[in-house]
């Protein structure tokens, strides 16, 4: 090696781009003979056109709703690119939730894809709307192309068959186009409406390349580029993101079925965890045994975890977002398991149960557990069509404040604690009691406050009820007997015209029922 000219055996290395060096471990031939051989003698791709997906009509209705809010504007909704995990290894792909909702695509569809809603004269668009929608993506390359065997990110030789334009068009009832046409589709006729141009609204921070493309188009067509107010344009984009989030506040029938699928798989995952507890009790990192048992079920029955599993034993259960899961699981402690399966459709459950690691609650554990259960039941009773979303939290935390006062832990009266000026009970119940649930574990998070926290409970909403009490080992404001106990009970709730329905009711909630359920699983395992 000659450092002066950076050569090795006569070959220069300094000119090789960094992005190509991740392939230095490979020895792929590049001869014309190899290319010709690789492109020959492959059976033709068999691509019978599939049936229309069950979600297609629902996704069309969602696009129609968005179309009604943004007449005359081009709407750009990216799926997002693959994200590098390390060098040439990517994370498992998941599209942006807004893209998935409007297209109906789940699983790993479709890196770099973009949905564009193109404005047309009012009422002449798809389903009588104001836009025509087109899905731009990179379709399957033919087996006679170099991409087939040379592209490790999209070539069929490497990652398996991918959809064609015609397949997606049939499945989704949605016009499709090759991604090579995307740049023109985004940038054509961009400009101020008063001079005949088309304004763009973009879901930002999903795909940096699309952000840059839209920003460049806006800049190039601005009357006064040097004084272009990017804040105004960002506000326009934020309104689209907000609208897509608010559109998901009410689930359609297809979405509700997907939620039920995700919850059912999650219930099975909790049973697998109970089966794994005996091994977890003997393992140095028993929490990882618990996490792994649930993850295996999530991958078997669904697409993925809906979020990082919290498998927290003992004092770790008092750490709200404990996802390290590196601790031991000790007999006599409580295990707080907060986990959810994400279905192939990308809809996720979000369920928490607090289990006695040895199968039996101690007296103090049962006391805390039943207080949290009473609070959950109070939140459930408060959840009725027409009441405020925030009323669930008020009802649940009032019960917890009352129990804390009964136990002599609350330094003020219940009335003072639950007042806006007080809130002392939040030392032991610091989080909200409910959040919306769906494509995201914290779904609809960009919705306006008046439609979320101050919103009215309406049939079609799916949300959690999840009160808890968390008494840390380090907390000197409480007697020692409470320390190291963390309890949360979380269920997934569907609001109907007749009231709330607990989608996760198949998992036992009462302390006696939890103990009996665990004992039954152990008994089945012993006889297996």
pLDDT at 1: 42
Residues 202 and 258 in one domain: no
Return the beta strands (E) in 280-389 as ranges. 304-305, 310-313, 334-339, 341-342, 351-356
Residues 520 and 498 in one domain: yes
Residues 314 and 217 in one domain: no
pLDDT at 392: 98
Query: What domain count does the chain have?
Result: 2
Residues 237 and 261 in one domain: no
pLDDT at 13: 55
Instruction: Determine if the pTM surpasses 0.85.
Output: yes
Residues 417 and 318 in one domain: yes
Residues 210 and 337 in one domain: no
Is position 24 within any domain? no
Residues 372 and 418 in one domain: yes
Residues 197 and 151 in one domain: yes
User: In this predicted model, what pLDDT tens digit does every residue of 364-405 receive, in sequence order?
Assistant: 999 999 999 999 999 999 999 999 999 999 999 999 999 999
Residues 265 and 231 in one domain: no
Residues 210 and 276 in one domain: no
Phi, psi of 117 (to 5 degrees): -100, 110
Is position 62 within any domain? yes
Report the DSSP pairing between strands 74-78 and 200-202: parallel
Task: Supply the CATH number for residue 118's domain.
Answer: 3.40.350.10
Domain boundary among 228, 247, 266: 247
Q: Is the peptide bond before 110 cis (omega within 30 degrees of 0)?
A: yes
What span, in angstroms and rounded, lies between the C-alpha atoms of 283 and 267?
A: 24
Helix (H) or strand (E) holding 38: helix 32-38
The DSSP letter of residue 391 is H
Residues 212 and 278 in one domain: no
User: In this predicted model, what pLDDT tens digit does every residue of 137-149 receive, in sequence order?
Assistant: 998 777 888 888 8
pLDDT at 528: 63
**Which residue numbers in the chain have pLDDT < 50?**
1-5, 7-11
Is position 90 within any domain? yes
Of 234, 126, 231, the closest CA to residue 175 belongs to 126
Is position 39 within any domain? no
- With beta carbons less than 8 A apart as the criterion, state whether 247 and 61 touch: no
What span, in angstroms and rounded, lies between the C-alpha atoms of 352 and 251?
A: 22
Residues 366 and 228 in one domain: no
Q: Which domain holds residue 76?
A: 56-247
**Cα→Cα distances 332→355, 404, 484, Å:** 10, 23, 11
**Cα→Cα distances 71→117, 204, 235, 239, 340, Å:** 10, 20, 17, 13, 38
């Amino acid at each position: 090696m000659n450092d002066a000219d950076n050569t090795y055996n006569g070959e220069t290395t300094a000119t090789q781009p960094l992005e190509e060096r991740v392939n230095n471990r490979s020895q792929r031939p590049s001869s014309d003979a190899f290319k010709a051989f690789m492109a020959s003698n492959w059976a033709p791709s068999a691509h019978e056109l599939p049936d229309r997906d069950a979600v297609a009509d629902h996704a069309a209705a969602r696009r129609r709703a968005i179309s009604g809010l943004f007449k005359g504007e081009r709407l750009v909704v990216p799926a997002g690119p693959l994200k590098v995990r390390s060098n040439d290894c990517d994370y498992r792909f998941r599209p942006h939730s807004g893209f998935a909702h409007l297209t109906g695509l789940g699983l790993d569809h479709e890196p770099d894809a973009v949905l564009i809603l193109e404005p047309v004269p009012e009422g002449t668009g798809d389903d009588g709307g104001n836009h025509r929608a087109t899905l731009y993506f990179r379709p399957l390359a033919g087996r006679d192309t170099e991409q087939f065997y040379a592209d490790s990110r999209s070539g069929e030789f490497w990652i398996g068959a991918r959809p064609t334009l015609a397949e997606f068009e049939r499945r989704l009832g949605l016009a499709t186009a090759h991604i090579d046409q995307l740049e023109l589709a985004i940038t054509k006729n961009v400009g101020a409406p008063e001079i005949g141009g088309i304004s763009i609204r973009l879901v930002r921070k999903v795909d940096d390349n699309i952000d840059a493309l839209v920003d460049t188009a806006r800049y190039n067509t601005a009357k006064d580029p040097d004084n272009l107010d990017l804040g105004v344009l960002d506000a326009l984009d934020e309104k689209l993101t907000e609208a897509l989030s608010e559109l998901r506040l009410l689930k359609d029938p297809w979405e509700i079925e997907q939620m039920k699928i995700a919850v059912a798989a999650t219930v099975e995952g909790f049973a697998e965890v109970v089966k794994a507890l005996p091994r977890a009790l003997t393992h140095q990192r028993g929490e990882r045994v618990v996490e792994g048992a649930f993850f295996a079920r999530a991958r078997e029955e669904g697409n993925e975890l809906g979020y990082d599993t919290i498998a927290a034993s003992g004092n770790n259960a008092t750490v709200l977002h404990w996802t390290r899961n590196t601790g031991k699981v000790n007999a006599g402690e409580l295990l707080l398991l907060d986990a959810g399966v994400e279905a192939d459709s990308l809809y996720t459950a979000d369920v928490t149960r607090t289990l006695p690691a040895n199968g039996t609650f101690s007296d103090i554990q049962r006391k805390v557990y039943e207080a949290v259960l009473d609070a959950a039941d109070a939140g459930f009773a408060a959840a009725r069509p027409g009441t405020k979303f925030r009323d669930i939290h008020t009802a649940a935390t009032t019960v917890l404040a009352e129990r804390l006062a009964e136990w002599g832990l609350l330094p003020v009266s219940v009335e003072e604690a639950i007042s806006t000026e007080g809130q002392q009970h939040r030392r032991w119940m610091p989080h909200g009691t409910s959040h919306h649930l769906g494509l995201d574990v914290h779904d609809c998070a960009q919705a306006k406050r008046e439609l979320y926290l101050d919103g009215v409970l309406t049939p079609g909403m799916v949300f959690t009820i999840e009160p808890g009490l968390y008494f840390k080992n380090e907390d000197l404001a409480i007697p020692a007997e409470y320390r190291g106990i963390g309890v949360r009970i979380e269920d997934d709730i569907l609001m109907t015209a007749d009231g709330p329905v607990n989608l996760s009711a198949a998992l036992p909630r009462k302390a006696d029922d939890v103990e009996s359920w665990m004992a039954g699983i152990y008994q089945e395992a012993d006889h297996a």
